[in-house]
Each structure stands twice: as structure tokens, then as C-alpha cells.
Amino acid sequence: MQTFNVYPRYEIEPVKGKGCYVWDKENKKYLDLYGGHAVISIGHSHPKYVQAIRDQVEKLGFYSNSVRIPLQEMLAQKLGDLAGLPEYSLFLTNSGAESTENALKLASFHTKRKKVIVFEKGFHGRTSLAVEATDSTKIAAPVNITGNIIRLPLNDLEILEDTMNDLIAAIMVEGIQGVGGIHIPSQEFLTKVRQLCDRYGAVLILDEIQSGYGRSGKFFAHQHNDVKPDIISMAKGMGNGFPIGGILIAPQFEVKAGLLGTTFGGNHLACAAGNAVLDVIKEESLIENAKMVGTYFIEKLREMDVLKEVRGRGLMIGIDLKENIKPLRSKLLLKHHIFTGASSDPHTLRILPPLNITTDQVDYFIHSLKKVI
């Protein structure tokens, strides 16, 4: 049997990782400034994380949500403390798309409405309604098109106000748009979104699947602004590679047995990984590091006149070039051994390193970028 060949791939086979580096099977070392789509938060194969997963699988890897799983409560407690949102509740999933689906479903249950406002260049996943909410006609199949999604330009207050009405179940916006090329919702825009949700009884969903977990220099990117969402979706950095996602749910939502559910979500092994990630983020002050190194990174990039634009917060950085980034990305990888990311805009390079990156590693990237540009 062959694999279903949907992924364009580089001819590189990583076999080992440590911190911000991975090694291929010829033992070539690569600086990882992408973390496999923003997934690696605490660094590859962090010893504390490895130990926690090893210990847990030796004891019990899985049992379903039909039994008590105190590891879930521990995760909720740690998450509430570190994110500064102890009043929210946690529902655990296995991926970003599944978090999106559950967020939308909960908003619809709560409001008994169907329509959802999302934004241009947004990415929310590839499943059922998540893919219709995503701004890409190529990846949505006819079965995904329900007509329930309304897509508007980001940061346009007037169009949003004109469109909003009492049929809208939710407005869903990314903390920082990732796949779309690192675009940040403005403070005025988020304030308006919150006001409109309150005025019309709609639910505000912040998709922090990529921008959350400390990447922006705050636990969630929207915490740079004065706004409180009703639901926050998460995944990516949450398990440092172990598949785990979740939604944080504000207190006003009524909970009923059976309302949401999943077989694998919140299993013992996933929670062990998730708890270890939060411990390391706290113990190693990785949110502060993301802020400090991210500010340094953005400053260094902005000193380079050849770049068209540099956008971002913390360690979520978009670099716009005048030309297509494809050849440059290949040179960075093959000549300088640096992984970087693309985006849906062919001119935007996406930088999403592990949160423990150092300024020396940034300097190596800047030096390499100057050589290939």
C-alpha cells in the first residue's frame, strides 16, 4: 500500500530533535524556525516532556471519558492559572479543526442560531464547518458548503457593523492570522466585535490554535488587547507535537451531559503531555522569552531595508518580500539548514520557532537571510 499523496514534501528526513534543532538521517543539523506549523512550543524532545509521557504510558496510556481522569482537572487548573482565566471551563479535543467544530457547535447550541461571521485570509481547519469558515475555495468540498458562513474583511469596522444582525450565532476571529500571512486584528476592531456580540446576543470565538500558548508573548494573542472572548480554541503548541486541542468556555454556557464528546480527547497520555508542556512554559519563563526574543527578532528584521514588510508579535512573525518566497525558502533550508514556513500569500515567509529560541539563533538566521536575499 502507498500513502495518499496529498503533501508536497522536502526531500529531508528528520530523525532526531533537541530544543530548536532537528537532525536528518545523515546527521545534518537544522535550525527549526517553523516547529512543524507552530506546534513545537517547549522545544523538540524536552527531557521533562519525554519523561512525563514515558511515565504515563507505562502506567496507563488511555481510558475513555466514561471514567474519572484527574489529569484533565490538573490540566484545567494549570491552564486557568497560567492563562489568567480561572473562571473558564476546559473541553479537550485532539486537533485544531476539532476545537473549531466544537466551538461553533457550542455557539450554535447556546444561541439556537446558524450563521457565523469569519474573516478574509482566516484559517480554522479542514473539517466540516471549519473548512467553510476557512478562506480557501480549494480545500472545501461541495458537502462542506452550508451557506452558514459570512466572510468579511478583517479590521473593517463599518462592514462588520452593517452586516451584524440577530441571526448571527458567532463571530470567529484568529488571535493573529497565521496561515493567512500574520495579520493582527486591531484593538478597535476587537472592541467593536465584542460590542456587537453583546448587542446582538452572539458568541465571540477567538481562534488561538496557532497564536496561543505563549507564542505572541502573552498566553493568548488577544490578551494584548482589552477583550474577553466567550470561547477560545487551542491546539498546536498545547502538546508540543502530541495531538491535543481544546476549547476554553466562559461561565455563561450551560453544561449538559452528552452535549459535546470525543473518544480520544483528554486521554491520559495526551493530558500527561499537556501538563508537562504547561509546567515547562512556566518553569522556563517561555512566554517572557517569546516576548523578549520576538521583539529582538522583529527589530533585526526591520533593520533590513530589502524586506517589504515585517509583521508580528512575539515569535509569530511574517516577512513580506517583493518576490515569491519559494526559492528563498529552499535556499534557507538546503544551503543554511533553516526551516521556515510559507503562508497562503506567496510573498510571505512565516516564522514560528520554539518558544525557547535564543538571540544567537536569531542572529544566525538574520546572517543567513542576508546571504540568500
Ligand X SMILES: Cc1ncc(COP(=O)(O)O)c(C=O)c1O
**34 closest CA partner among 343, 306, 309:** 343
Pick the closer one to ligand X by CB: 173 or 369: 173
Nearest to 30 by CA among 18, 38, 39, 21: 21
Please identify which residue in 23, 24, 36, 37 interacts with ligand X, judged by CB under 6 A.
37
Q: Least CB distance from residue 215 to ligand X, whole Å?
A: 11
First vs last C-alpha separation in the chain: 42
- Segment contacting ligand X (CB under 6 A): 146-154, 174-182, 265-273, 277-285? 174-182
In the complex, minimum distance from the CB of residue 125 to ligand X, in angstroms, rounded to a whole number: 4
CA distance 362 to 10: 23
Q: State the binding string over 230-249 for ligand X (x if CB under 6 A, else -).
A: -----x--------------
- Among 209, 249, 325, 349, indicate the residue that binds ligand X (CB under 6 A): 209
Residue 314 or 337: which CB sits closer to ligand X? 314
174 binds ligand X (CB under 6 A): yes
Interacting span for ligand X (CB under 6 A) from 149-157, 202-210, 259-267, 268-276: 202-210
| Residue 267 binds ligand X (CB under 6 A) | no
Q: Does 96 bind ligand X (CB under 6 A)?
A: yes
Radius of gyration of the chain (CA): 20
User: Pick from 40, 75, 97, 103: which binds ligand X (CB under 6 A)?
Assistant: 97
Tell me the C-alpha distance between 301 and 310, whole Å: 7
Q: Which of 118, 133, 171, 179 binds ligand X (CB under 6 A)?
A: 179
Distance CA 234, CA 257 (A): 22
**Going residue by residue from 116 to 155, which x/- string records binding to ligand X, judged by CB under 6 A?**
-------xxx------------------------------
Residues 269 and 62: beta-carbon distance below 8 Å: yes
How far is Cα 142 from Cα 331, in angstroms, rounded to an integer? 38
The answer to the question of residue 210 lying near ligand X (CB under 6 A) is yes
Q: Which is nearer to ligand X, 110 or 124 (CB)?
A: 124
Q: Where in the chain does DSSP place strands (E)?
A: 14-18, 21-24, 29-32, 89-93, 115-119, 149-152, 168-174, 203-207, 231-234, 245-249, 309-313, 316-320, 338-339, 348-351
Cα 147 from Cα 100, distance rounded (Å): 17
Q: Which of 101, 207, 230, 345 binds ligand X (CB under 6 A)?
A: 207
Query: At closest approach, how far in Å is the CB of 73 from ligand X?
Result: 24
Nearer to ligand X, 216 or 368 (CB): 216
Please state the closest distance from residue 105 (CB atom) to ligand X, in A: 15
- What whole-number distance in Å separates Cα of residue 136 and Cα of residue 120? 9
Residue spans of alpha helices (H) in 201-285: 268-283
Cβ distance 351 to 33 under 8 Å? yes
**Of 77, 73, 19, 74, which is closest to residue 50 (Cα–Cα)?**
19
Task: Pick the binder of ligand X from 178, 212, 237, 294 (CB under 6 A).
Answer: 178
Residue 95 binding ligand X, by CB under 6 A: yes
Q: Does 219 bind ligand X (CB under 6 A)?
A: no
Instruction: Tell me the torsion sign for CA atoms 229, 235, 237, 238.
Output: positive
What residues from 289 to 348 belong to the interface with ligand X (CB under 6 A)? none
CB of 372 to ligand X, least distance (A): 26
Q: Which one of the spans 4-12, 28-36, 206-214, 335-343 is the region binding ligand X (CB under 6 A)? A: 206-214
3-state secondary structure of 331: helix
Which amino acid would we find at residue 2?
Answer: Q
Q: How many residues bind ligand X (CB under 6 A)?
A: 15
Closest residue to ligand X in the complex (CB): 96
Give the cell for residue 155. 479590521
Contact residues: ligand X, CB under 6 A? 37, 95-97, 100, 123-125, 174, 178-179, 207, 209-210, 235
